[in-house]
Structure 1
């Protein structure tokens, strides 16, 4: 019953935000012209919780106290890009293909650039867990590779059918030790992790040849982790276009962590001749001065390197204890904190 209610809600979102188009390719035709920096350096946010928050009655306000749709608010604060995770078959329906499409349509109609984040799981895939989707658990390795290909293709084809072209696509989330454990656990079988990555890579390129494929690791300040994983991929024929990084410092550690991140970026660019993306970052919402200083320094320094493609804040719209997550960038009343000012520079 719960899933049915969510399905109905998601369908209502589709009717709310999808309008008919008479153009031959069914491309979205926004009412308002695209403004701001929609090319070059990406300044963005992962807002994958957004539709679930809205269904719970969470509201967002601009500095003048006016209730404002969240993505529009983020755009007014200087962001030009949106990152969206997609799970295979989540039990509650949120962040499945349909839910992701609804949010992608909204972002696209605002003229915002899109990064799709495949977790290849029914729930969170991160450094502590990279669980297979339930429906993939008993597959042979060859069939697991095909499942990655088919799922990636299905989701991206749905986007393409809606006239939405993501600029970047992640094949796996924070895969510092591979994904789809144990078959794709990198420290046990790097070759199989590389093969799974390549099936995802090729599926992306088959639908969107111009999209940049991202392999994303945690702890972007730790060079040895990145050398180990990407040397392993390279030595096993692994393919990627962009190295993605996460960075979550504390108020008293951000300076040194930014220094180490920049050093790692320089080494990755020199070593692998590829792009770099800060796919996730954040700091506790109640330390807004430190968060602003951290983000300003991070954005300023990464923009100096032409190989750095952008910075994404992870779920900045979270506030008032949503999911017990404390690293948003909105205050307890639903207003953006000072931290968000860093994206307007």
Structure 2
């Protein structure tokens, strides 16, 4: 009996330590890029599937955003439930692990804006609780029926100020806590093994993270992973000025709250290839360095979202349709 107990203990420890480090990308724009005729090429100039190009660079995980009733706008629309199921199935068939990112909006939700979906706008708070549960359950269950069980699900996207404003603002943490828990409960109702992420931006800002997750703790918010964004560009500092702060915050979050931590969004300037390569290398190292194997992954936000198509300058793609050498940071 003692031998069996020891064996189970060793195997459980081994599982937590041997789960592969997640290296990946958010590719929400990819279906629209392909639909509008954008072509992806390897370094030899031959056309290739974008997902294969990412896989060849060491990536093993794909993140997909979900909007409630999005428009058909090329860069600020799509990402509906049905489109997400198709994309997730395609990625999984290529061996990718899947992360789903709920914005709980019809378009972008981030620290500056957390607009309710149009069809939820006039709902009471009890109705909003049901909306979050039902929408979350419907999407995750649709994925499961299609044969895809995500490894991670984000309840909200970059929510230092809350979500579904004004009802779910951090000015009313009691309500925000209830909304987050409804999302958590819906995910676990589909599959209890899916890890739920709660995501805050500015991963180098420890004070912001402590304030948010202390409040989450006080409201008994349920989650498994602390998700961070890390964009030195947006705070107008080079990564060399903030990487130590990122490392401190990662370590502090893991120890203070007993959670796994993950950089779910990172990006560098597309025309500063060497700097972006070094940023990615340093970020991956920082997450891997979190004690007790609590640092579980790093994902680039829209690396394939070439500026010529998206007007976004923090992709990691060249003008000739080839991946930036910066992405080689994800190779072992």
What TM-score comes out, normalization by structure 2 length? 0.90
**Residues 134-145 of structure 1: matches in 2 within 5 Å?**
134-145=118-129
Structure 2 residue 197 is the aligned partner of structure 1 residue 217: no
**Residues 113-128 of structure 1: matches in 2 within 5 Å?**
113-128=97-112
For 2:229 and 2:100, how far apart are their aligned partners in 1? 15
Match of 1:332 among 310, 319, 331: 319
Question: Which consecutive aligned stretches of 4+ in structure 1 deviate over 3 angstroms post-superposition?
Answer: none
What corresponds to 2:166 in structure 1?
Answer: 182
Structure 2 residue 221 is the aligned partner of structure 1 residue 241: no
Structure 2 residue 257 is the aligned partner of structure 1 residue 277: no
Q: Which has the higher helix share?
A: 2
Deviates more, 1:67-76 or 1:242-251: 242-251
1:234 partner SS: helix
1:325 partner SS: coil
1:192 partner SS: helix
What corresponds to 2:56 in structure 1?
Answer: 76
**Residues 5-20 of structure 1: matches in 2 within 5 Å?**
none
For 1:247 and 1:321, how far apart are their aligned partners in 2? 24
For 1:168 and 1:176, how far apart are their aligned partners in 2? 20
Structure 2 residue 141 is the aligned partner of structure 1 residue 157: yes
For 1:140 and 1:147, how far apart are their aligned partners in 2? 10
For 1:203 and 1:144, how far apart are their aligned partners in 2? 14
For 2:213 and 2:112, how far apart are their aligned partners in 1? 19
1:189 partner SS: helix
Shift of 1:126: 0.2
Match of 1:192 among 158, 162, 175: 175
What corresponds to 2:44 in structure 1?
Answer: 64
Shift of 1:94: 0.8
The number of aligned residues is: 307
What corresponds to 2:6 in structure 1?
Answer: none
1:321 partner SS: helix
With over 3 angstroms needed to count, the CA separation of the structure-2 counterparts of 1:277 and 1:201, relative to structure 1, is same
Q: Given that residues 246 and 286 in structure 2 are in contact (C-alpha distance below 8 angstroms), is that contact kept between their aligned partners in structure 1?
A: no
With over 3 angstroms needed to count, the CA separation of the structure-2 counterparts of 1:276 and 1:162, relative to structure 1, is same
For 2:172 and 2:259, how far apart are their aligned partners in 1? 24
With over 3 angstroms needed to count, the CA separation of the structure-2 counterparts of 1:177 and 1:252, relative to structure 1, is closer
What corresponds to 2:241 in structure 1?
Answer: 256
Structure 2 residue 92 is the aligned partner of structure 1 residue 112: no
Q: Given that residues 320 and 333 in structure 1 are in contact (C-alpha distance below 8 angstroms), is that contact kept between their aligned partners in structure 2?
A: no
What corresponds to 2:190 in structure 1?
Answer: 207
1:270 partner SS: helix
For 1:281 and 1:252, how far apart are their aligned partners in 2? 14
For 2:57 and 2:118, how far apart are their aligned partners in 1? 40
- Which residues of structure 2 form unaligned runs of 5+? 1-17
For 2:321 and 2:19, how far apart are their aligned partners in 1? 29
Match of 1:40 among 20, 29, 43: 20
For 1:267 and 1:320, how far apart are their aligned partners in 2? 35
For 2:310 and 2:91, how far apart are their aligned partners in 1? 23
Q: Given that residues 288 and 338 in structure 1 are in contact (C-alpha distance below 8 angstroms), is that contact kept between their aligned partners in structure 2?
A: yes
1:215 partner SS: strand
Match of 1:102 among 60, 70, 86: 86
What TM-score comes out, normalization by structure 1 length? 0.87
When the two chains are superposed, the root-mean-square deviation of aligned CA atoms in Å is 1.2
- Which residues of structure 1 form unaligned runs of 5+? 1-37
1:309 partner SS: strand
Shift of 1:252: 5.6
